[in-house]
């Protein structure tokens, strides 16, 4: 069972990702989830920071995350931390996406508890940070969590990021490097577009566009990153057939999900002319963590790597005057690094840890 931390900006597809983070199983024969969600932090993105945080609390209640869980005869109390993180990007101005997710980030979603629902209020009251500058609370909570886990010899965690990377970037900036290396196995994120057009700019995908400076910090850090960009998420379409399967049985969660996907399908058709259904972008982050074999991509050509997935250097275009602003530039053939010897020398320190010269990103290509 992998221990994960989810950082999200719910958001319709973030809502589906959260469901998987709570209950995802790699096989229907498994009786309990294959992931253990340690906590959920929210970030401004699809909607403002207040809305994404409140949405997270409503979803946790709707999904029964706080219920006592009975699986395979075991009973355990869930204790999922909720933290309101950054309300604005590091440098850029706030940018939400009401055209896709509605004004409050979960437009059209049915069956959510009201904000005044005591269970929602309880989540919000117990949230580790409740105000607009919660970033420092997020960072200290994560540092304490990693310290505790490493001191107890527990396995490193996986960070799943389905929104702009503001919180994660600041964690990487502020936490001691040795702690991140010992305590975090990998960052799996939805963001960017590898060799395909963007969705909020010629080459800009929304999560990267909201906070390209944060994205740059994350992609440059010498830790394994797995990127689910638009090139792969646009292969995962929630088709009318899947919608019919979902609604074939009735339950409150099915109603919630099908209304979310109906709204998402409508906005995707209006905005992007998607006629066969919306891509379930963020869902893929959790799908990859739970069942990595569903995905394929090039294998490393280095004999040292034993057929491991290839990893690439990825740079973020940060020139706001460029039509390529916020592009995720993947150095698929390792040409840029080889042509920039000086940069390469600076990357020697990375070689000590990953032996990749900054090539730390697995780019998911097929699902």
Give the catalytic positions in this structure: 281
Residue 220 touches ligand BDR, criterion: CB under 6 A: no
Least distance (Å) between residue 239 CB and ligand BDR: 18
97 binds ligand BDR (CB under 6 A): yes
Identify which of 209, 251, 255 has the alpha carbon closest to the alpha carbon of residue 230.
209
At 222, is the secondary structure helix, strand, or coil?
A: coil
Are residues 136 and 179 in contact, defined by beta-carbon separation less than 8 angstroms? no
| Rounded Cα gap, residues 42 and 112, in angstroms | 18
- At its nearest, how many Å lie between ligand BDR and the CB of residue 18? 11
Give the number of residues in contact with ligand BDR, rule: CB under 6 A.
15
* Smallest gap from residue 59 Cβ to Ca ion (A): 13
Selected from 6, 33, 37, 46, the binder of ligand BDR by CB under 6 A is: 46
18: nearest Cα among 286, 226, 228: 286
Beta-bridge partners for 159: 5, 187
Stretch that binds ligand BDR, among 6-14, 151-159, 340-348, 355-363 (CB under 6 A): 6-14
Alpha helices by DSSP H, listed for the chain, are 12-23, 49-62, 98-101, 118-126, 135-151, 166-174, 177-183, 206-210, 212-220, 230-233, 240-247, 252-272, 283-290, 335-339, 341-346, 348-354
Q: Tell me which residue has tokens 């939400």.
A: 96
164 binds ligand BDR (CB under 6 A): no
Choice from 104, 186, 282, 317 touching ligand BDR (CB under 6 A): 282
> Looking at the DSSP assignment, which residues form a beta bridge with residue 225?
187, 361
Q: Cα separation of 235 and 296, whole Å?
A: 12
The interface partner of residue 220, options being ligand BDR, Ca ion, none and the CB cut-off 5 to 8 Å by kind, is none
Using rule CB under 6 A, residue 205 touches ligand BDR: yes
Candidate ranges 171-179, 204-212, 238-246, 287-295; the one touching ligand BDR (CB under 6 A): 204-212
The answer to whether 109 touches 259, Cβ cutoff 8 Å, is yes
Among 6, 7, 11, 171, binds ligand BDR (CB under 6 A): 11
| Closest distance of CB 345 from ligand BDR, Å | 35
Nearer to ligand BDR, 11 or 224 (CB): 11
Among 18, 65, 100, 106, interactor with ligand BDR by CB under 6 A: 100
| Near Ca ion in 271-300, by CB under 5 A | 282
Interface characters, 13-32, with Ca ion (x: CB under 5 A): -x------------------
Count of residues in contact with Ca ion, rule CB under 5 A: 6
Q: Which helix (H) or strand (E) holds 185?
A: strand 184-190
The distance of Cα 47 from the centroid of its chain, to the nearest Å, equals: 15
Q: Say whether residue 328 binds ligand BDR (CB under 6 A).
A: no
Residues 6+ apart with CB under 8 A from 210: 44, 45, 89, 92, 95, 163, 164, 166
Q: How many CA atoms lie within 13 A of 160 on its CB side?
A: 29
The single residue among 2, 58, 281, 337 that binds ligand BDR, judged by CB under 6 A, is 281
Q: Which is nearer to ligand BDR, 267 or 360 (CB)?
A: 267
CB of 198 to ligand BDR, least distance (A): 8
Does residue 107 belong to the site contacting ligand BDR (CB under 6 A)? no
Residues near ligand BDR (CB under 6 A) are 11, 13-14, 46, 97, 100, 162-163, 190, 199, 205-207, 281-282
Residues near Ca ion (CB under 5 A) are 9, 11, 14, 162-163, 282
């Amino acid at each position: 069972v992998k221990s994960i931390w989810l950082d999200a900006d719910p958001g319709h597809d973030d809502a589906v990702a959260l469901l998987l983070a709570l209950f995802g199983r790699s096989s229907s024969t498994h009786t309990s989830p294959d992931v253990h969600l340690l906590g959920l932090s929210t970030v401004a993105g699809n909607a403002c920071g207040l809305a994404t945080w409140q949405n997270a609390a409503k979803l946790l209640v709707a999904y029964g995350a706080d219920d006592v869980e009975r699986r395979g005869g075991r009973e355990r109390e869930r204790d999922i931390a909720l933290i309101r993180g950054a309300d604005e990007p590091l440098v850029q101005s706030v940018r939400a996406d009401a055209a896709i997710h509605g004004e409050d980030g979960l437009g059209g979603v049915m069956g959510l508890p009201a904000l005044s629902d005591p269970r929602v209020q309880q989540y919000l009251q117990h949230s580790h940070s409740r105000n607009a500058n919660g970033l420092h609370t997020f960072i200290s909570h994560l540092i304490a969590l990693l310290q505790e886990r490493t001191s107890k010899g527990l396995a490193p965690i996986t960070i799943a990021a389905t929104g702009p990377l503001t919180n994660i970037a600041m964690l990487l900036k502020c936490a001691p490097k040795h702690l991140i290396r010992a305590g975090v196995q990998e960052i799996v994120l939805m963001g960017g577009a590898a060799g395909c057009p963007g969705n909020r700019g010629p080459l800009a995908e929304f999560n990267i566009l909201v906070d390209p400076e944060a994205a740059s910090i994350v992609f440059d850090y010498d830790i394994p990153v797995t990127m689910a960009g638009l090139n792969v998420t646009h292969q995962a379409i929630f088709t009318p057939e899947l919608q019919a399967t979902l609604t074939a049985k009735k339950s409150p969660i099915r109603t919630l999900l099908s209304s979310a996907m109906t709204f998402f399908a409508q906005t995707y058709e209006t905005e992007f002319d998607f006629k066969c259904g919306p891509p379930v972008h963020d869902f893929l982050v959790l799908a990859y963590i739970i069942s990595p074999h569903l995905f394929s991509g090039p294998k490393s050509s280095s004999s040292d790597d034993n057929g491991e997935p290839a990893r690439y250097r990825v740079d973020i275009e940060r020139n706001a005057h460029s039509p390529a602003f916020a592009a995720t530039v993947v150095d698929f053939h390792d040409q840029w690094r080889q042509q920039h010897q000086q940069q390469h020398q600076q990357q020697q320190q990375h070689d000590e840890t990953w032996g990749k010269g900054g090539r730390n990103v697995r780019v998911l290509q097929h699902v």
